[in-house]
Amino acid sequence: MATAVSSLARIRSAAVSARGFQTAALVTLALLWLVVTTGGLVRLTASGLGCPHWPTCEANQLVPSASYHAVIEFTNRVISGVAMLASVATAIMAYRVPGLNRGVARAAALAAAGTVAQVPLGALTVAFDLHPLLVMSHFLLAMAVVAASTWVTVRAWRLAHGGEPRPLHVPRVGVAAWTAVAACLVLVTTGAFVTAAGPHAGSTDKPIERLGDFHDAAWVHVRAAVIFSTLFVVVAVWLWRKARGSVPQRLSVAGVVLALCQLAVGEYQYRNGLPWGVIAVHVAIAATLVVTVVTVAAFIRDSAE
């Protein structure tokens, strides 16, 4: 018995390599991105009540029936469950990595806590027949977790690779980049309000109430998009002039391209009756854009330390 206890203690206190933590962080981030995109599909395909029970799909069985709505929602639940386990494992590993800043470990723990919180929040969302505020909270919490996980992943990458090959000394760009991150999250939030006021209620089984006026929400969302795009273009130009060839500079170009694609997709969907497939692309680009913008800001901040 004593041998078993001592073995368990060694496992708990075992150090985790920087490369191992980097791999765990990357896998977790990929899974969290999938949670956002598949969650968008649940709403856009009206599959929100495809599984009327929680955590099982139906009252008398775990797996879904032949209904494609049930399959879509249950797939999102499975991916969310795997992502939750991965985020918790990554948070535990963060406290075992020699030399890792405790702030990074705390951020990993917060990301894990946010992912775990999705479980009761998802149950409440189903129990209250997809109330728009609960659906929005479910989506926005997922996006916030993606942003936190992205920062953790960047720090894990830097620790594993010894830092940016060309240190940047542009702290003012760092401030602008993190302001762009805040603007991006505001943009995502206003987009959630647009969806909550739009035609995609999330289910066809029961009448779902809308939240606010669609055209007013879209008006605010467009202005938020212009503000974010302007800020990020400024960051990209600044990096092009001061740190050409660096990791954040190259990623900033990718971010500008993503932002332009997002603007084009948003304009198309607005003028063509909001087809759900196009909105699904819009959600996927939004999640990718959050990852890109946070990555750029994290590299600049780290480089200026």
Give the pTM.
0.87
- The rounded distance, in Å, linking the Cα atoms of 152 and 276 is 32
* Percentage of the chain modeled with pLDDT above 70: 84
At residue 286 the predicted structure's pLDDT band, cuts being 50, 70 and 90, is very high
May I ask the CATH class of domain 166-305?
Answer: mainly alpha
Sign of CA dihedral 163, 164, 169, 170: negative
Residue 146 near residue 251 (C-beta atoms within 8 A): no
* The pLDDT value given to residue 12: 47
Q: Poorest-confidence range of 123-132, 161-170, 240-249?
A: 161-170
Higher pLDDT, 143 or 72: 143
pLDDT in tens, 153-210: 999 998 888 754 444 555 678 889 999 999 999 999 999 998 888 776 655 555 566 7
Spatial separation of the C-alpha atoms in residues 289 and 229, rounded to whole Å: 11
Domain with CATH 1.20.950 in the chain: 166-305
**Residue 128 CB coordination number (10 Å):** 11
Mean pLDDT throughout 233-241? 92
Taking the C-alpha atoms of residue 140 and residue 35, their distance in angstroms, rounded to an integer, is 12
Mean pLDDT of 58-74: 74
